[in-house]
Structure 1
Amino acid sequence: MDILQALPLERDDPFEPPAVLGELHGPLHRMIYADGRPGWLVTGHAEARVVLDDPRFSNTSQGAAPPIKELAPPEGLTDLVIPPGFFIAMDDPGHSRYRRLLTGHFSMRRMRLLEPRIQEIIDGLLDEIARTGAPADLVSAFALPVPSLVICELLGVPYQERSRFQATTARAVNLDSPVEERGAAGAELMGYLSELVARKRAAPGQDLISQLATGGELSHEELTGVATLLLTAGHETTANMLALGTFLLLCRPEQAELVRTDPGVAATAVEELMRYLSITHIGPIRVARADVPLAGRTIKAGETVTLSLPAVNRDPARFPDPGRFDVTREAGPQLGFGHGIHQCLGQQLARLEMRLAYPALLRRFPGLRLAVPAAEVPLRQRATIYGVAALPVTW
Structure 2
Amino acid sequence: MAEHWTGEVARQRDGFTLLREVEALRESGETARVTTPFGHEATMVTRYADARELHGDPQRFRLDAVGPPPALVAAGRDRAEFRRRQAGNLLGQDPPDHTRLRRMLTGEFTVKRMKRLVPRVEEIVAEHLDAMEEAGRQAARSEAELTRRRPYTELVDDFALPVPSMVICELLGVPYDDRAEFTERSARSLDSTISAPERMRLADASRAYMADLVARHRAAPGDDLLGMLIREHSDEITDDELIGIGNLLLVAGHETTSNMLSLGTLALLEHPDQLARVRDEPAAVDGAVEELLRWLTVVHGGFPRAATEDTTLGGHPVAAGDLVIASLAAANGDPELVEDGATLDISRPPSPHLAFGHGIHHCLGAPLARIEMRVAFPALLQRFPDLRLAGEPEFRHRTLIYGLHRLPLAW
Instruction: Give the TM-score, by structure 1 length.
Output: 0.92
* Corresponding pairs, count: 386
Q: Greater CA deviation, 238-247 or 283-292?
A: 283-292
Matched, 1:101 2:117: no
Q: 1:52, 1:354 → 2: CA distance?
A: 25
Q: What is the CA deviation profile of residues 311-353 of structure 1, one whole-angstrom value per residue up to 9, with x for unaligned ones?
A: 1000012211112211111000110101111100000000111
Aligned-pair distance for 1:61?
6.1
Q: Mapping of 1:1-395 within 5 angstroms?
A: 7=5, 8-9=7-8, 11=10, 13=12, 15-24=16-25, 25-33=27-35, 39-54=42-57, 55-60=59-64, 62-63=66-67, 74-75=74-75, 81-82=82-83, 83=85, 84-133=87-136, 134-215=151-232, 216=234, 217-372=236-391, 376-395=392-411
Q: 2:273, 2:39 → 1: CA distance?
A: 46
Q: 1:161, 1:72 → 2: CA distance?
A: 27
Aligned-pair distance for 1:110?
0.5
Aligned-pair distance for 1:119?
0.7
Q: What is the CA deviation profile of residues 207-237 of structure 1, one whole-angstrom value per residue up to 9, with x for unaligned ones?
A: 1111112231212222111111111111111
Q: 1:253, 1:208 → 2: CA distance?
A: 39
Question: In structure 2, the residue corresponding to 1:338 is in which secondary structure?
Answer: coil
Aligned-pair distance for 1:281?
1.6
Q: What is the CA deviation profile of residues 46-104 of structure 1, one whole-angstrom value per residue up to 9, with x for unaligned ones?
A: 111111111210122623878xxxx7753556768241211220011010111000000
Report the AA paired with residue 56 of structure 1: R
Report the AA paired with residue 337 of structure 1: F
CA contact (8 A) 2:42 2:304 kept: no
Q: 1:344, 1:202 → 2: CA distance?
A: 30
Q: Greater CA deviation, 130-139 or 21-30?
A: 21-30
Structure 2: any 5+ residue segments left out of the alignment?
137-150
Aligned-pair distance for 1:251?
1.2
Q: 1:51, 1:292 → 2: CA distance?
A: 11
In structure 2, the CA distance between the partners of 1:212 and 1:284, relative to structure 1 (3 Å rule), is same
Q: What is the CA deviation profile of residues 346-369 of structure 1, one whole-angstrom value per residue up to 9, with x for unaligned ones?
A: 000001111111111001100001
Aligned-pair distance for 1:9?
3.1
Q: Greater CA deviation, 29-38 or 90-99?
A: 29-38
Q: 1:230, 1:207 → 2: CA distance?
A: 13
Aligned to 2:145: none
Aligned-pair distance for 1:22?
2.2
Q: 2:344, 2:399 → 1: CA distance?
A: 24
Aligned-pair distance for 1:27?
3.3
In structure 2, the CA distance between the partners of 1:73 and 1:36, relative to structure 1 (3 Å rule), is closer
In structure 2, the CA distance between the partners of 1:30 and 1:171, relative to structure 1 (3 Å rule), is closer
Report the AA paired with residue 274 of structure 2: Q
Q: 1:46, 1:274 → 2: CA distance?
A: 18
Report the AA paired with residue 380 of structure 1: R
CA contact (8 A) 2:302 2:328 kept: yes
User: Identity of aligned pairs, percent?
Assistant: 42
In structure 2, the CA distance between the partners of 1:73 and 1:357, relative to structure 1 (3 Å rule), is farther
Question: In structure 2, the residue corresponding to 1:389 is in which secondary structure?
Answer: strand
Aligned to 2:142: none
Q: 1:195, 1:292 → 2: CA distance?
A: 44
Q: CA RMSD in A?
A: 2.1
Q: 2:42, 2:189 → 1: CA distance?
A: 26
Aligned-pair distance for 1:36?
9.1
Q: 1:259, 1:383 → 2: CA distance?
A: 29
In structure 2, the CA distance between the partners of 1:73 and 1:386, relative to structure 1 (3 Å rule), is farther
In structure 2, the CA distance between the partners of 1:36 and 1:264, relative to structure 1 (3 Å rule), is closer
Q: What is the CA deviation profile of residues 179-217 of structure 1, one whole-angstrom value per residue up to 9, with x for unaligned ones?
A: 221221122122111111111121222111111122312
Q: 2:304, 2:247 → 1: CA distance?
A: 21
CA contact (8 A) 2:62 2:305 kept: yes
Report the AA paired with residue 362 of structure 1: L
Q: 1:30, 1:335 → 2: CA distance?
A: 20
Report the AA paired with residue 267 of structure 1: D
Q: 2:393, 2:3 → 1: CA distance?
A: 29
